[in-house]
Structure 1
């Protein structure tokens, strides 16, 4: 788990003021960090094109060119000149070691984008848009310096962005690198230090990036005398589209729930390992509702079995557009997890906040949206689905970057709801259940070996038993 920051300006200033590190020295470390990565991945003599901008991001690229000169077939392109004091200083140094200048964008084994980094606040000019598009069209491996050119502080393209295979960011990880839009532009992300260890550079913050090492599956070591009741009883409502409820319940059973019951309105074709009932079982320890729900259950039953219950609850899909079920958000002593995708969040937000939000507005600044929800309902766990799911609770925000395109298929969200319900049933806190369920879904998808279009929700469920055992 690593920290994420909106920007690094305050931490850079701390390096100047407390550690006596100059801007020049930080830049040398940034450039050397990139150079080290390049030396590890490219043989001497490889062709490299560095496209540097007029400011300090460009200065990083110019410094990089100096460090690589003599080892590689190098060209430095300065399409907008060198304008900041540091860019001018680095250009003079580069000239002294003989760095050759390019006249235009040209093909190379490695293309380095050092045009504009963090802090972009206005749309790129037509000239720069055309330049970025030419760079994107090149066939070589693409590396972005700090942040791909064109991404603003929210991670939104203005209006286009460099599409990197690798982003080497400086000092600390930035939120902008983990928006949904940024996922198609950043490639692999590495962070290099700026002259001090990240432990000394970084400030305390409550925004975290999850990684595979954070996954802690519900293994049963030390439970030698346990029985099925030891691992809880998950109740999953099975509504109008019964497949969604069956998928969620199957995932819950696979992920450790000792018992799993489908709450049904009429008979369904359930797999033999799932029980069925027209009410929530008396010994249930968690409930999930909304997946394919429709308007299948009467209000009186929902009020009695779900709203007036104190069981931990997962609200998904159709449950997020029903005002009566959303009363649960005000039950501050209850474990509540919401799992909307952006379109579902628009409907949810209109009900609870009386504010119209479009999907585009949500996607443009997912961090802000998650924080706004968290400020209104701090006790509720929100898992905002997307290419990088966001999880917020009690002022903390977690980002899961491990998802993949294979999850872009109906039923994946139903599996997620089942995973979270299983963990709630086993006694997990709501935040932990959301984090571990999200990680389990992503890691199960990563284990898929077939074509990226071919995975079914049932394939995800079948991979759950192998997680934590490989």
Structure 2
């Protein structure tokens, strides 16, 4: 698990005051980090364009230009005069080398690498027409694209203002920034690398409420006890409703994961149910967790919510006022997609927004929910899962577009529900289920359009 920060200015200030590291030293490390990446990635004498703004991000670019000089055919584009003393100093240094500098970009860029040093993190306004046109030109080139700190045009929430640089690699300085893990920035950041700024990250970083889940955080429920029994390994009850397929997918996912038993709850006989699944009209006495909402519809037994069992709640329940009863209980996991979460926020009288507003700042609205229901574990689905619990936020960035298929969310519910039934805490079950879900796509061809929910379920045994 890695720390993530909304802003890092306070961390930079600690370097200045506590460790006596100057701004010049931090810039030297920033430039060196990108230089080292280019040395490993790009052959000598290739043509490199460094696009510099007038602030400290641009000054980082000037340091980089100095470090690349003579090894590469380097061109510096200056969008204006440097505004700070340290920026002017960096400009003087690189000028003394005789570096090639331009103040007008050619209409056709013929470079092997483009490095974006226009803006760093902290943008709080819309780009002007000139800046927007620069980014359009950079994005249209076939050159390998590197962003210094964050892709220019992203604000601190990860929202393009109104567009941003589309990087192949982002080398971010000092620590991970929250803006790099917004859904709307996922197609713009590329591979993310963290550079230290003169001290190790463990020294540079402080406490935070934001964390990035690592694949190593997935602790699979291996069975180590020899003397055990299926009932002791947990029993998940999956409530089936109007759209039976969703409940069946959830149950099949759960059956292949942690718990020892899975039962489908339905008043009607379900055809073609897997032989390993059981069916009942009511909750079995041995039930240790309940999954409800998947394909549920409006006609269901409300008493299924009226117990103290751990529950994972999904899909149709987020449009039903009965969910408010469940929110008063302990050991509850919610897994809405954006449209469902917007409905939930409205039902809870927290706020009335549309889906687009939510997507512009998913963390903000997750926090609003957590402020009211800190005991609930919330997993907001999307390109990156956001897990919220006790006003802490955990981001799973490992999902891919392969998971954008019907029934994928039902598979996720099954993984989490199975882990709940197995005996994990709601938070641990959600982290495990989320990471297992995104790990299921690892061996599929990148960008595959043919993967279905049943294909994901078949992969569970290979985790």
Secondary structure of 1:417 counterpart: helix
What does 1:119-268 align with in structure 2 at a 5 Å threshold? Answer: 119-220=122-223, 222-268=224-270
Q: Which residue in 2 is equivalent to 1:455?
A: 451
Q: CA deviation at 1:450?
A: 7.0
Kindly indicate whether residue 323 of structure 2 is the aligned counterpart of residue 325 of structure 1.
yes
Q: Distance in 2 between matches of 1:228 and 1:354?
A: 42
Secondary structure of 1:134 counterpart: helix
After superposition, the Cα gap between the structure-2 partners of 1:343 and 1:49, relative to the gap in structure 1 and judged at 3 Å, is: same
Q: CA deviation at 1:437?
A: 0.4
Q: Distance in 2 between matches of 1:34 and 1:214?
A: 29
Secondary structure of 1:247 counterpart: helix
Q: CA deviation at 1:86?
A: 2.2
Structure 2 residue corresponding to 1:273, chosen from 273, 276, 295? 276
What does 1:68-107 align with in structure 2 at a 5 Å threshold? Answer: 68-102=68-102, 103-105=104-106, 106-107=109-110
Q: Distance in 2 between matches of 1:90 and 1:327?
A: 61
Q: CA deviation at 1:81?
A: 3.4
Secondary structure of 1:293 counterpart: coil
Q: Which residue in 2 is equivalent to 1:440?
A: 436
Q: Distance in 1 between matches of 2:350 and 2:391?
A: 22
Q: Which residue in 1 is equivalent to 2:394?
A: 398
Secondary structure of 1:236 counterpart: strand
Q: Distance in 2 between matches of 1:287 and 1:83?
A: 60
After superposition, the Cα gap between the structure-2 partners of 1:85 and 1:451, relative to the gap in structure 1 and judged at 3 Å, is: closer
Q: Which residue in 1 is equivalent to 2:413?
A: 417
Q: Distance in 2 between matches of 1:370 and 1:82?
A: 39
Per-residue CA distance 1:156-214 (angstroms, 9 max, x = gap): 00000100000000000000000001101100000000000111100011211011111
Q: CA deviation at 1:352?
A: 0.6
Q: Which residue in 1 is equivalent to 2:62?
A: 62
Q: Distance in 2 between matches of 1:63 and 1:201?
A: 21
Q: Distance in 2 between matches of 1:47 and 1:230?
A: 64
Q: CA deviation at 1:281?
A: 1.1
Unaligned runs of at least 5 residues, structure 2: none
Kindly indicate whether residue 374 of structure 2 is the aligned counterpart of residue 378 of structure 1.
yes
Q: Distance in 1 between matches of 2:219 and 2:311?
A: 21
Kept in 2: contact 1:319–1:326 (CA 8 A): no
Kept in 2: contact 1:55–1:86 (CA 8 A): no
Q: Distance in 2 between matches of 1:450 and 1:206?
A: 32
Q: Distance in 2 between matches of 1:454 and 1:97?
A: 54
TM-score normalised to structure 1 length = 0.96
Q: CA deviation at 1:367?
A: 1.3
Q: Which residue in 2 is equivalent to 1:302?
A: 302
Q: CA deviation at 1:370?
A: 1.4
Kept in 1: contact 2:240–2:295 (CA 8 A): yes
Q: CA deviation at 1:451?
A: 5.3
Q: Distance in 2 between matches of 1:409 and 1:146?
A: 33
Single out whichever of 223-232 and 413-422 deviates more from structure 2. 223-232
Kept in 2: contact 1:265–1:296 (CA 8 A): no
Unaligned runs of at least 5 residues, structure 1: none
Q: Distance in 2 between matches of 1:54 and 1:421?
A: 52
Q: Which residue in 2 is equivalent to 1:344?
A: 340
Secondary structure of 2:245 counterpart: helix
CA RMSD of aligned residues (A): 1.1
Q: Which residue in 2 is equivalent to 1:17?
A: 17
Q: CA deviation at 1:296?
A: 2.7
Q: Which residue in 2 is equivalent to 1:3?
A: 3
Q: Distance in 1 between matches of 2:154 and 2:310?
A: 39
Per-residue CA distance 1:280-318 (angstroms, 9 max, x = gap): 111110000001000131xxx322x22x21110001000
Per-residue CA distance 1:304-343 (angstroms, 9 max, x = gap): x22x211100010001111113311112xx2100000110
Q: Distance in 1 between matches of 2:251 and 2:318?
A: 19
Q: Distance in 2 between matches of 1:3 and 1:193?
A: 14
